[in-house]
Amino acid sequence: MLRSIWLEVFDSAWLKERADKLQIRVVEIPPYRGMILDRSGEPIAVSSPVRNLSCNPRVLLAKMNRLAAAAKATDISVEEQRNAENKQIEFSEKLRLLASELNIDEESLFNKLDRYSAKHYMQLARQIEPELAERVISLDLPGVLATIGHRRFYPGSETFAHVVGVTNISGQGVEGIELFQNKRLAGKKGRYRIEKDRRGRAIEIVEKLEEMIPGEDVQLSIDRRIQYVAYRELKKQVYRLQAQAGSIVVLDVHSGEILAMANMPSFNPNNRKTLKARNMRNRAVMDVVEMGSTVKPLTVAAALDSKVVRVSEGIDTSPGYIKLGSYKITDSRNLGVLSLRRIIQRSSNVGASRVAFRMEPRKHWMFLDRVGLGRIAGSGLKNERSGRLPHYRKWTMVDRASLSYGYGLSSSLMQMAHAYTVFGTEGVLYPITILKRKQPVEGQRVLSEKVANQVLLMMESVVSRKGTAIAAKVDGYRVVGKTGTAYKLIGKKYRKDKRIASFIGLAPASNPKIVVAVMIDQPKLDATGGKAAAPVFSKVMAQALRVIDAAPDNVQNNKNVGLKASLFNASGVAL
């Protein structure tokens, strides 16, 4: 009685301070990570609330040891000993339930507690459902606490994986947009002084020391409808051709926005246990390869822009090869005199080389540089590669020839798709972006309007019965484009059994709006651009044109119809 009065009267301040220390805590509140949205505002990365469980091993083990000691005591009554034993059994049952709820072995739990016996903190589980955390807290184990957290969820799974990326277990971006836009998405954690009950559950906020600032949402230029089709068709073709890998890029010609980007193999960002580093690489941005004949339209455009060749001029490719010392450039056969259009249609290496020889190396190099080859595109995606465009001062005659048909320089698929946009914009190159544009941007003229339209029409012959990509046709629309089939450089040797098959094209030809670029890496079947990549292009371009509601081509209203005359000679014979 006297002790109670003493505590209440003389030690009340001390008792209140001790109670506050037991019940008042300063806790960090993690911010809610912003969503990643597609261009229509549909979420493709969201955060859901979870709980993180931890314990104070010293407190937990001290309780366990006290109960064990009480149960073995010999200086207490039988009834007191029985109560002590029951409490020990009850506590052991709670620890067993803890292990069961967390799906861990009971022995492993005790071993871990022993290892952390001198520590004040031990993690029990991360990112678990709030309901599970509540069941664990209800066991009323001393020192066991639950804190608020968030888990990232990706509704599109592997379809958007390489663009969106993934976060680590701590919620920080490590790949893709999650990494590049991490600062915006992450927000800022808050610090609150809160009151907790004896189970460690928050009762109320006493004071806000630092306000929690949630992360911002980030809206991408990606259209989920085009993205789904792009990934589906690429995946089907990679499996069908037993290819090593594949990539696809879809661009809006006039805004420079990336409407779709997919790669195979892909990964499921929702399942961290299956993540493999090699599958997480965004090949469309990071893999730089020699793209082969898809470079030929750029060679022709550079020559026309330099005024070293006329659109009506014939180029003699006889006898079907060129010898430069020990190096030999060949066509499939002697194709004779070819127009620029036919050089593109028949994919003549000899023709492209002879066109390149007419240009000053400096002017050829400057044009390739202007369309973005050899430098970072600045799309907003991490790990972009610049590729390789050797300086013209280092070019030999062999270099000048091989560069004309896509060897000796390397680029990513995204870079090549971006370069092709100039044929749809009448020679203007717009900055490329993965983020949705709210305002139009100013482009840079890199090619004359006349030449851009001339080369555009030349590429239509590729998607014809005499061309190399009849499979690229799209019902209701005129398509232009170019195939590429390049041998891979392994070490210092080109391997004819390992190829890169590609197709890059635009539609509608009368008023281009979309560029689709497809690359299949080492297909074992149908190992040409026309057979491996063109069919994927056709299906994806058809969907993209439907999504943007592009009107079918109407020859009567074709802005390029007047240019057709320039592709014929005075006698009306096709060049």
Distance of CA 105 to the CA centre of its chain: 38
Residue 574 has pLDDT above 50, yes or no: no
- Based on the residue annotation, tell me whether 332 is a catalytic residue of this protein: no
The pLDDT-based confidence of 568 (bands split at 50, 70, 90) is: very low
Answer yes or no: are the C-beta atoms of 295 and 409 closer than 8 Å: yes
pLDDT at 492 over 60: yes
Tokens 């001339």 sit on residue: 454
DSSP 431: P
Within a domain: residue 378? Answer: yes
Last residue of a domain, one of 219, 240, 268: 219
Each residue of 360-370: pLDDT tens digit?
A: 999 999 999 99
Helix (H, G, I), strand (E, B) or coil at 156: coil
Cβ atoms of residues 287 and 413 within 8 Å = yes
Calculate Rg over the CA atoms of the chain: 33
What's the pLDDT score for residue 570?
A: 35
Residue 509 and residue 553 in contact, taking contact as beta carbons nearer than 8 Å = yes
SS3 labels along 454-518: HHHHHHHHHHCCCCCCHHHCECCECCEEEEEEEEEEECCEEEEEEEEEEEEEEECCCCCCEEEEE
293, 339, 404, 410: the active-site residue:
293
Do 505 and 541 touch, CB atoms closer than 8 A? yes
Do 298 and 421 belong to one domain? yes
From 220-234, 271-285, 462-476, the region with the lowest mean pLDDT: 271-285
pLDDT, residue 344, reads 97
Mean predicted confidence (pLDDT) in 272-291: 90
Domain boundary residue, one of 188, 219, 250: 219
Verify that 167 and 234 share a domain, yes or no.
no
**pLDDT at residue number 206:** 58
pTM for the model: 0.84
End residue of a domain, out of 219, 251, 267: 219
Which one has a higher pLDDT value, 64 or 222?
222
Orientation angle between helical segments 361-370 and 397-404, nearest 10 degrees: 40
Q: How confident is the model at residue 572 (pLDDT cuts 50, 70, 90)?
A: very low
- Which residue has better confidence, 560 or 418? 418
* pLDDT above 80 for 23: no
Look up the CATH number of the domain holding residue 486: 3.40.710.10
Same-domain status, 167 and 306: no
What's residue 555's pLDDT? Answer: 42
The residue with greater pLDDT, 190 or 299, is 299
**Given this model, what pLDDT does residue 566 score?**
44
Please compute the mean of the pLDDT values over residues 444-470 and round it to a whole number: 95
Do 210 and 232 sit in the same domain of this protein? Answer: no
For residue 496, name the pLDDT band (cuts at 50, 70, 90): confident
Q: Which long-range contacts does 102-106 make (Cβ < 8 Å, 24+ apart)?
A: 102/53, 102/128, 102/136
CA 559/CA 202 separation, integer angstroms: 69
Same domain, 132 and 170: yes
The residue ranking higher by pLDDT, 106 or 450, is: 450
Q: Specify whether 147 is located in the same domain as 284.
A: no
Least confident residue range of 23-37, 77-91, 358-372, 409-423 = 23-37
Residue 341 within a domain? yes
Residues 532 and 436 in one domain: yes
Report the chain's mean pLDDT, rounded to a whole number: 88
pLDDT digits (tens, 9 = 90+) for 507-520: 999 999 999 999 99
In the predicted model, is pLDDT for residue 543 greater than 60?
yes
CATH number of the domain enclosing 123: 3.90.1310.10
| Residue 233: inside a domain | yes
Whether 317 is covered by a domain: the verdict is yes
Please report which confidence band the pLDDT of residue 127 belongs to, taking 50, 70 and 90 as the band edges.
confident
**Which range marks the domain in which residue 122 is found?**
32-219
| Domains identified in the chain, total number | 2
One domain for residues 305 and 403: yes
| 516-542 core/surface letters (b: 16 or more CB in 10 A; e: else) | bbbbbbbbeebbbbbbbbbbbbbbbbb
Average pLDDT over residues 278-298: 95
pLDDT band at 567 (very low <50, low <70, confident <90, very high): very low
Interaxial angle between packed helices 224-240 and 534-547, expressed in degrees from 0 to 180 and rounded to the nearest 10: 170
pLDDT band with cut points at 50, 70 and 90 for residue 81: confident
Whether 573 has a pLDDT exceeding 50, the answer reads no
Q: What is the pLDDT of residues 192-228, one digit of tens each?
A: 776 666 555 555 555 677 888 889 999 999 999 999 9
What number is the average pLDDT over the span 467-494?
92
Residue 8: pLDDT band (50, 70, 90) is: low
